[in-house]
Chain A
Amino acid sequence: MTEVTMNVNGRKVTRSVRGNELLVEFLREQLRLTGTHVGCDTSQCGACCVHVNGELVKACTMFAAEADGAEVATIEGQANADGSLNVIQQAFQDYHGLQCGFCTPGMVMSAASLLKDNPKPTEEEIRHHLQGNICRCTGYHNIVRAIMAASGQETPAVAAE
């Protein structure tokens, strides 16, 4: 076992981890941050996307020990300080960008990473960026629109087409 310390959603945590313990296991099992999901075992689905030191990371691709000393952000830390949904989260609700909700935390984390680097992405850029996040419910239509809306770009209202 190795002791690691990291800052998760602004809170310093120190825990013992197994050498082969994945970051996603650490978040879900040790910290009980169960918003980060596991949808595959080949790092394809993106349900476990988090931010490590500001970079988008699939938390199944990294050992917890590798995140020692890191700043980690998960879906649980994304809402505004008053608890209300942040701009991206609110856009996902407004534009019906989620159905079963299982891929959603990864989608929101992935979208946040995109908009940090590219504040006004085109539809094509959004779709390209989301290649690593699989959604089985929405057909991506409303996810793309939600991200367009979150970036302040015009997109038709839901159910008004």
Chain B
Amino acid sequence: MSILPILPVLIPFAAAILMLLLANRTAAHRALNLFSTLLLAAASGFMLQSVVADGPMALRIGGWDAPFAIAFVADTLSAVMTCAAALIGLTTAIYSLGAVDKTREHHFYHPLLQLLLMGVNGAFLTGDVFNLYVWFEVMLISSFVLLVLGSTPRQLEGAIKYVTLNLLSSAIFLAATGMLYGMAGTLNMADLALRIPHVEHRELMQVVSVLFLVTFGVKAALFPLFFWLPASYHTPPVAVSAMFAGLLTKVGVYALIRFFTTIFTGEDAELAHRLLLWTGGFTMVTGVLGAVAQYDVRKLLSFHIISQIGYMVFAVAIHSPLAVAGGLFYMLHNIAAKTNLFYMAGIMKRLGGSYDLRRIGGLYRPFPLLGLLFLVPALGLAGIPPLSGFWAKLLVIRAAMETGHWTLAGIALGVGMLTLFSMIKIWNEGFWKEHPDSGHDPADSSFHDLGPEKQAMMIAPVVMLALVTVAFGFWFEPVFALVDHAARELLDPARYIAAALGGAQ
């Protein structure tokens, strides 16, 4: 039994504790944050490598047998997701060095980032439904604090909506967990997968599965449940928004994938699967329509998060190997591109003076390279070849057509066009048109006040993630092989179950 599956949880935890002990040394916080995320990236990468080579691995804590022990299980999906989390953690740590103010850093900004990463990784790796609830709460409480850190009126107002709706979803999660235990007598995910087909009153499983769908639907920001997201994501500093945009909703999607491929399969969740398919479609459309109306860059991007979640969710609901692989690829592509766009929005705000697209402009002439750098994630998100979004959309739409979901394939194509429209809108308004204030001097902005070091800290993560987007586009084969492997593992959970239950089988 290897200790690897718990490392991505332990590393940020240890780093956060150390930082809290060094309460007043901001410099130490920064260094530890960087060091810990680097270590996290190494551990996650190593875990991914060994999971791909040797199959899923499990760690049962305290020497108890399965299914009684607290289990951490890493299959390919979990390992890939922790790698993505480490990448976003690392880039956010670097970006924060340039973008986050002293006051926030002094008020435990860095340890909170680490605790958030701990919650996210815990959710990715746990093999137990109740532990998933606990990790969700760890993640939520750190995100609550990060969201309100600074306590501006807008942050507080956004946080009220975010906190209330997320707590409501947690209450539903808890109730659904209780019902699941009452019916199946276990909460170990692998054990559940074996026992659910044999429970009494099997038709009640439909209710339980729909309750879980609602819970994770709130977390993932699905169609009728997403209203907390555009109300809150644009209020905190942009480094925090970027981290939330990249990771938090994806944890909801991860939970949906885990539940509706490993645990609830076939007839037990027929209703939930059908609902998932169509909410996916509605999510795509409402998200992108919301985005078209916006002029605040961060709000526009927030609505796009929702729209993109729709693609992943409907791909997972189609449930063919290609579709699930496509959904996973979409998720990875989206994590890199979306986070990058938020970083970029922060740089644009500092250069142009506002997040409102109507108040800025003319950034292309003084900063042509920055314009190009913006186009990489923007066109990637819209699905222009050869960038990563093209392959992601191609996979998802092809899977929809192969399985005869013509309407949804059409919706996905149309939404892709509207996505391109909003990306071009940011480009036109921010970079292309003249600055509305003709006296605005681009060389005299709050970005230039930062000094070359901090500027480099803000640009470096953008370059890193842009490289990821480009690499996913040009080296599509190996990435696809990886997600394909993950998808096959998900659709045939026998190996996952065998690893999670170990000797008890």
Instruction: Tell whether A and B belong to one assembly.
Output: no
Interface set of B (CB-CB < 8 Å, partner A): none
Interface set of A (CB-CB < 8 Å, partner B): none
